[in-house]
Amino acid sequence: MRALLEVRDLGVRFRTRGGRILRALDGISFDLDAGETLGVVGESGCGKSTLARVLVGLVRPAAGRATLAGNPPRPRDIQLVFQNPLASLDPRMTVARIIAEPLQGLAPKLSRRDLRVRVAAMLERVGLGDAYLDRYPHELSGGQCQRVALARALIAEPRVLVCDEAVSALDVSIRGQIVDLIAGVQRESGLAVLFIAHDLAITRRISHRVLVMYLGRIMELGDSESLYMHPRHPYTRALLAAVPIADPVRARTRRAPVEGEPPSPLTPPSGCVFRTRCPYAIARCAAEVPLLRPFDGSLVACHRAEDIAAADPAARLEGGRSGVL
């Protein structure tokens, strides 16, 4: 059966002021089903936010395409929630106007009364009562602002919600509440969610599958539980090794996180883009780009996935589904 969202060979290039070409995304392909959450993780600068912006039409791809149920998506079909809740809301508008604005564009004949009823119902849905209708963003907490941003995104009844670091600026306890809220809306509506985050623990909590990006390319894509317990790509292993764990004994015995900074996307390494930081790199890694290929139930872009799994089969991550790993 066809996936709801199909992304194929997406490529984005930016030209710098000096005329150099920066490849922000390269050959990105994945599917997203209705009712599914795909987590997208990677260090900053890996292309996560560019991917979000392409999907909602804010950035034009240089190559590839995204289709929704086989057709080009309409703007209302894919909605975006940004990281900074206060900055993403117009400070001069009341909560009611902020949420109503996209609906007014979609249903211009809706009466003022019906509009307010719809907005109040959506506000209720995101856990804020109608007492918040006439408040301004500066009167709200960060978590309340993000609930309003979510209500504004959901009022258009999108089929895909893209959360670009949508909980990163919130306190840990509020993060959990917003993630649970998104999961609840998803269960009721069959919404597909692309959940972009650098917090691997919270991504694990909400995602059915996880996509790992590095320097604009996919390194690994697989079922969430399997990827967290048995990371196959050296970069996924390194990312997970950097997540804090509460147990000091386990913390002492785990492998080292990846060292150094990613190379500049203006001068990416030849072959495998991760090779300059990879402890398993061999000559072939500099000469040949590893294709994303099936391995052990996941898709992995690594020439040596089999060797690495055989040499270090205990690369499993312990821990529960929430909190630190």
What is the arrangement of strands in the sheet containing 192-196, beginning at the earlier edge strand?
78-81, 160-164, 192-196, 37-41, 209-214, 217-223, 298-300, 293-295
**Cα-based distances in Å from 253 to 83, 315, 317:** 34, 12, 12
Residues between 294 and 313 with contacts to ligand SF4, criterion CB under 6 A: 302-304
The DSSP bridge partners found for residue 79 are 161
- Does residue 285 bind ligand SF4 (CB under 6 A)? yes
- Does residue 280 bind ligand SF4 (CB under 6 A)? yes
Options 38, 40, 281, 317; binder of ligand SF4; rule CB under 6 A: 281
| Pair 55, 66: CB distance under 8 Å | yes
Shortest reach from residue 140's CB to ligand SF4, in Å: 44
| Pair 313, 237: CB distance under 8 Å | no
Shortest reach from residue 200's CB to ligand SF4, in Å: 18
Options 222, 231, 234, 268; binder of ligand SF4; rule CB under 6 A: 234
The binding track of 190-229 with respect to ligand SF4, each residue x by CB under 6 A or -, is: ----------------------------------------
Shortest reach from residue 243's CB to ligand SF4, in Å: 19
Helices assigned H by DSSP within the chain: 48-55, 95-106, 112-125, 142-154, 172-189, 200-206, 224-229, 234-241, 248-253, 283-287, 305-311
Options 290, 292, 298, 325; binder of ligand SF4; rule CB under 6 A: 290
Q: Which is nearer to ligand SF4, 278 or 317 (CB)?
A: 278
| Pair 224, 209: CB distance under 8 Å | yes
Shortest reach from residue 256's CB to ligand SF4, in Å: 15
Integer Cα distance of 180 and 177 in angstroms: 5
Q: Which is nearer to ligand SF4, 204 or 275 (CB)?
A: 275
Shortest reach from residue 283's CB to ligand SF4, in Å: 10
Both tokens of 279, joined, read 């402890």
Options 278, 292, 315, 325; binder of ligand SF4; rule CB under 6 A: 278
Only one of the segments 100-108, 140-148, 271-279, 315-323 lies at the binding site for ligand SF4 (rule: CB under 6 A); that segment is 271-279
Q: How many CA atoms lie within 13 A of 310 on its CB side?
A: 4
Pick from 37, 8, 22, 1: nearest CA to 218:
8
Q: Which is nearer to ligand SF4, 250 or 284 (CB)?
A: 284
Shortest reach from residue 275's CB to ligand SF4, in Å: 4
Q: Which is nearer to ligand SF4, 5 or 285 (CB)?
A: 285
- Does residue 145 bind ligand SF4 (CB under 6 A)? no
Exposed / middle / buried, residue 147 (Cβ in 10 Å: 0-12, 13-18, 19+): buried
| Pair 147, 182: CB distance under 8 Å | no
Residues near ligand SF4 (CB under 6 A) are 234, 272, 274-275, 278, 280-281, 285, 290, 302-304
